[in-house]
Amino acid sequence: MRVFVSLRLVRRGGTVVLILEAVVLGILSGGVYALMASGLTLVFGVMEIINIAQGIFVIAGAYVSYALQQQFHLDLFVGLLITMPVMFLFGLGVEWLFIRRIKRDRVTLSILVTYAVALVIEGVLGYIFTTDLVQLHAWYVDASVQIGNFYLPYVYLFAFALSVVLLTGLYLLLYRTPFGRSLRASMQNRTAAALLGINVSRVQAITFGLGVALAAAGGMAYGATNTFNPSSSYDLISRLLVIIVLGGMGSFWGALIGSVLMLVIGDVTAVLWSPVWSSTAFFALLVVLLMFRPQGLLGWSEGRRQ
C-alpha cells in the first residue's frame, strides 16, 4: 500500500498560491530524488546494469541514519559523514560479490540479481527494525520557515542544499578529474577505454559504490521528509526507474530534469486533483513521451548495442 504523507504545509490563499507552493516543494524534493536517480543512471551508463536495489539502498541509508541518531544521538547531516562511506563500502562489497559475477546478458541478469539482493536487504532490515513506519527527527524537521503565507519545514531547504552540494561534487568529479574522464570513457566504449589503459572494472566498482553512497544520502533526506519502512523501497524504485527512463537512461542531466519534473508534476497534481493520483499525471506524460521519443529526453538515439 502506498503511503502518502501530508505535505505538512499550512495552506492558505487561492489555488495559484497553492500551485506555487507545490512547485517550490516539488523542486526542493526533486533535488533529493535527483541524488538517488543520478546514482542509478550513472551505474547504468558505466556498467550497463539496472540496479533494482537502488530503492532499498535509499531505505538502508535512511535506517543507518536512524540507527546512528537513536544510538549515538548524532545529527542527521553529521551522521552522513559515517553513513555515506559505510554505504560506499557496502556498495563495493555488493558489486564484488554479485554484480561482477554476471558475465553474459548483463542488463537482464543484473535486474534479477539486484532484485534478489534487494529482497535479502529488505528481509534483513525488516528483521532488525521491524516493518513499523518510522521517521527521522531533528529540530529542523519539526520547525518551519515562513515564506509569504506558507510554512516550509527547514529540512526541505537543508536537504536541497545537500543535494546541490553533492551533485556539484559529482559533476566536478565527472568532468574535472582524471577519474571522471576514465568514467566517461568507460561509458562511451568499455573496450576502447580498457585498451587505453583504464582499469574499467575498478571504475565500475567505484561507480557502483558512489551510486549507493548517493542513494544513502538521498535516503537520509527521504527519511526526514517521509515516514518509511523496508517496503517503501518499491514505491521509490518505481519512481526512480520512471525518472531515468524519462530523462534518458545513462544521462546525468536527464536524471536531474526527470526528478524535478516528476516531483513538481506530482505535487501540482496532488493540489489540483488528489494526492492519490499524484503519480498518474507524470506516468501519463511518460507514456506520451515514449510514443514520440522512445529513448527518453536526453537519451542516446539508438540505444547502445549489447
Partner 1 sequence: MRRVKIGGLLCLLAFAVIFPLVFSNSAITSIAVFTLLYAGAATGWNIFSGYTGYFSLGHAVFYGVGAYTLALLCRDWNVASGYTPFLLFPLSGLLAGLFAIPLGWIALRVRKHVFVVVTIALFFIMQLLAYNLHGITNGSAGIVLPFPGDWGDTFFNLPFYYVGLLLLLLALAVSWRIRHSKYGLGLLAIRDDEDRALGLGVKTGSFKLSAYVLSAVLVGMSGALYAYFVGEVYPQFVFDPVFDVTVVMIVLLGGFGTLSGPIIGAVLLVPLQQVITIEFGASSLDLIAYGALFLLILLFLPEGIVPSLQTIWISWKASRTKAVRANGAASQDHAVLAERREV
Binding residues for partner 1 (CB under 8 A):
1-2, 48, 50, 98, 101-102, 104-105, 107-109, 111-113, 115-127, 131, 230, 234, 238, 241-242, 244-245, 249, 276-277, 279-280, 283, 286-287, 290-291, 294-296, 299, 302-303, 306
Residue with Cβ nearer partner 1 (24 or 124): 124
Closest approach, Cβ 149 to partner 1, in A, equals 31
Closest approach, Cβ 140 to partner 1, in A, equals 32
C-alpha cell at 263: 516531483
Closest approach, Cβ 220 to partner 1, in A, equals 23
Residue with Cβ nearer partner 1 (113 or 224): 113
Residue with Cβ nearer partner 1 (6 or 306): 306
Closest approach, Cβ 209 to partner 1, in A, equals 20
Are 133 and 228 contacting, i.e. CB atoms less than 8 angstroms apart?
yes
Residue-wise DSSP of 64-107: HHHHHHHHH---HHHHHHHHHHHHHHHHHHHHHHTGGG--SSHH
Task: Kindly calculate the radius of gyration of the chain based on its CA atoms and give it in whole angstroms.
Answer: 19
Residue with Cβ nearer partner 1 (58 or 166): 58
Q: 52 CB contacts (<8 Å, ≥6 apart)?
A: 111, 114, 115, 118, 237
Residues 87 and 83: their CA atoms lie apart, in Å, by: 6
Residue with Cβ nearer partner 1 (107 or 164): 107
Q: In a 10 Å sphere around its CB, with 0-12 CB exposed, 13-18 middle and 19+ buried, how is residue 191 labelled? A: exposed
Q: What are phi and psi of 5, to 5 degrees?
A: -100, 140
Residues 27 and 264: their CA atoms lie apart, in Å, by: 6
Closest approach, Cβ 241 to partner 1, in A, equals 5
Residue with Cβ nearer partner 1 (79 or 296): 296
Closest approach, Cβ 284 to partner 1, in A, equals 8
Residue with Cβ nearer partner 1 (9 or 60): 60
β-sheet bridge partners, residue 153: 144
Are 187 and 207 contacting, i.e. CB atoms less than 8 angstroms apart?
no
Of 175, 161, 173, 188, nearest to 46 (Cα)? 188
Closest approach, Cβ 120 to partner 1, in A, equals 4
